[in-house]
């Protein structure tokens, strides 16, 4: 039954000039990093719900991430957040990950959960606080070296709540000064991802409010600094895929934090609210992979795809598996775009033809393709069902209630 659906799919795509072997190869290679904090208890500002079976420490978070990788085959790394994942011996943590077939990915400094940072971290008017924040950033580079990660992923919560509360230009200078020090401590192969967000926790101004500020800062710092696009960090109606294409063309797109949003930074399961946006992001990336400029192609090929979700009401591991599958679905659809047709329509100023050439790929059901890809990868054809049948959901109940929260 499923084979029949697949062969029909293959025939349709082949007739459209899509190379199915290439499509499969690309899907198998799309690595998606999961976040350690997505496995812990989390909540809204109203309540953090405690669930049974939540990992009690960084090691157990890695165990859960490894389970997601075993079932999907495409999540070989896990991002960590310091100090949420602080351990005595980071070498041991990396070793634990390796034993589970994983590696540690992006190291995320945390400059927002310390009382000293109430009025800002690297942008604080108090030089002692700024120094402490910088020391933490440098500590995270050290952690990255110990776990053999090449990525530092920085989000800054700094901002103000009221007009006049602080000198905005002065804070801009302090921000640059600290990040320049951080940058100079990077090993040559390391990348610094700079994330932006237009509000929250501050409500009047955010020191790194949008992609333009992150882009400018990354340019000031140098080649190893790139922008990170968290899909939930934009105002309503923002054309995120346009930002993606702009940054790709400037060779400054470093990575993504995938999640879904309806209103603000909701951190919902990616692909649940606006799957078309995710598809259009991949459309821009695949288009850039065919650019005449080798630098643009290289940028597109080196994007770090990461999930950044905080599951409040959902069981964490299935929610993560669902996210990974949703990303694969939109990626697979984007791989079905007939780029020759799109470009021809663009050249002819055929508005409807061009729009149709992009949208028709979105409308294909790629589930038969993904089932076959999973089969070929030797992972369960239905990772969610396999998780339920695995015994793992029961096994983790031994951890009890009151695990790690972000």
* Residue 37 binds ligand LRH (CB under 6 A): yes
CB 230 within 8 A of CB 292: no
Q: Does 155 bind ligand LRH (CB under 6 A)?
A: yes
Give the one entry of ligand LRH, Mn ion, none that residue 37 binds, where binding means its C-beta sits below a cut-off of 5 to 8 angstroms depending on kind. ligand LRH
- Site membership for ligand LRH, residue 108 (CB under 6 A): yes
Q: Closer to Mn ion at the Cβ: 6 or 305? A: 305
Pairing of β 159-160 and β 205-206: antiparallel
Q: Which lies closer to ligand LRH via its Cβ, residue 174 or residue 196?
A: 196
Applying CB under 6 A, among 215, 308, 316, 328 the residue interacting with ligand LRH is 308
Q: Name 79's bridge partners.
A: 35
15 Cβ partners below 8 Å, 6+ apart? none
Q: Which of the listed partners (Mn ion, ligand LRH, none) does 108 bind, with a CB threshold of 5 to 8 Å by partner kind?
A: ligand LRH
CB of 328: closest distance to Mn ion in angstroms? Answer: 20
State yes or no: residue 60 binds ligand LRH (CB under 6 A): no
Q: Does position 230 bind ligand LRH by CB under 6 A?
A: yes
64 or 265, CB closer to Mn ion? 265
Beta bridge partners of 8: none
Is 402 in a helix, a strand, or coil? coil
Is 136 among the residues that bind ligand LRH (CB under 6 A)?
A: no
Segment 326 to 355, residues that bind ligand LRH, using CB under 6 A: none
Nearest residue to the partner ligand LRH, using Cβ: 155
Q: DSSP letter string over 237-248? A: T--HHHHHHHHH
Question: Tokens standing for 339?
Answer: 């780029």
Residues 6+ apart with CB under 8 A from 101: 66, 69, 70, 76
Strand partners, 159: 206
Longest CA–CA separation in the chain, Å? 67
Is residue 348 classed exposed, middle or buried when 0-12, 13-18 and 19+ CB atoms within 10 A define those classes?
Answer: exposed
Q: Contact residues for Mn ion (CB under 5 A)?
A: 230, 257, 265, 308
> Interface residues for ligand LRH in 189-218 (CB under 6 A)?
195, 197
- Binding site residues, ligand LRH, CB under 6 A: 37, 108, 155, 195, 197, 230, 257, 265, 308
């Amino acid at each position: 039954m499923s084979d029949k659906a697949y062969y029909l799919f293959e025939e349709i795509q082949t007739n459209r000039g899509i190379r199915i072997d290439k499509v499969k190869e690309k899907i198998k290679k799309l690595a998606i990093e999961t976040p350690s904090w997505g496995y812990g208890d989390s909540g809204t500002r109203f309540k953090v719900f405690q669930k049974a079976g939540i990992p009690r420490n960084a090691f157990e978070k890695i165990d859960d991430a490894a389970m997601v990788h075993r079932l999907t085959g495409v999540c070989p790394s896990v991002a960590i957040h310091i100090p949420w994942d602080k351990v005595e011996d980071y070498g041991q943590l990396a070793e634990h990950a390796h034993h589970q077939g994983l590696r540690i990915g992006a190291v995320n400094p945390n400059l927002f959960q310390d009382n000293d940072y109430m009025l800002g971290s690297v942008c604080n008017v108090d030089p002692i606080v700024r120094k402490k924040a910088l020391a933490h950033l440098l500590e995270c580079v050290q952690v990255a070296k110990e776990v053999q990660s090449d990525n530092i992923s920085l989000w800054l919560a700094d901002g103000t709540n009221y007009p006049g509360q602080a000198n905005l230009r002065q804070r801009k200078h302090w921000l640059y000064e600290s990040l320049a020090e951080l940058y100079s401590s990077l090993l040559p192969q390391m990348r610094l991802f700079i994330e932006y967000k237009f509000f929250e926790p501050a409500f009047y101004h955010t020191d790194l409010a949008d992609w333009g500020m992150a882009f400018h800062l990354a340019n000031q710092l140098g080649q190893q600094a790139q922008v990170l696009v968290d899909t939930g960090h934009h105002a309503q109606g923002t054309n995120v895929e346009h930002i993606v294409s702009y940054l790709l063309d400037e060779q400054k797109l470093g990575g993504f934090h995938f999640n879904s949003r309806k209103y603000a930074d909701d951190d919902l399961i990616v692909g649940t609210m606006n799957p078309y946006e995710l598809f259009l992001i991949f459309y821009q990336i695949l288009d850039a992979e065919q650019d005449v400029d080798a630098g643009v192609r290289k940028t597109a090929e080196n994007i770090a795809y990461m999930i950044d979700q905080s599951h409040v009401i959902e069981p964490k591991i299935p929610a993560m598996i669902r996210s990974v599958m949703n990303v694969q679905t939109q990626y697979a659809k984007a791989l079905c775009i007939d780029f020759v047709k799109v470009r021809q329509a663009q050249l002819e100023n055929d508005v409807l033809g061009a729009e149709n050439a992009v949208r028709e790929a979105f409308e294909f059901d790629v589930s038969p393709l993904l089932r076959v890809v999973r089969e070929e990868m030797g992972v369960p054809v239905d990772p969610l069902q396999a998780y339920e049948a695995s015994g793992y959901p029961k096994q983790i109940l031994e951890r009890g209630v009151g695990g790690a929260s972000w």
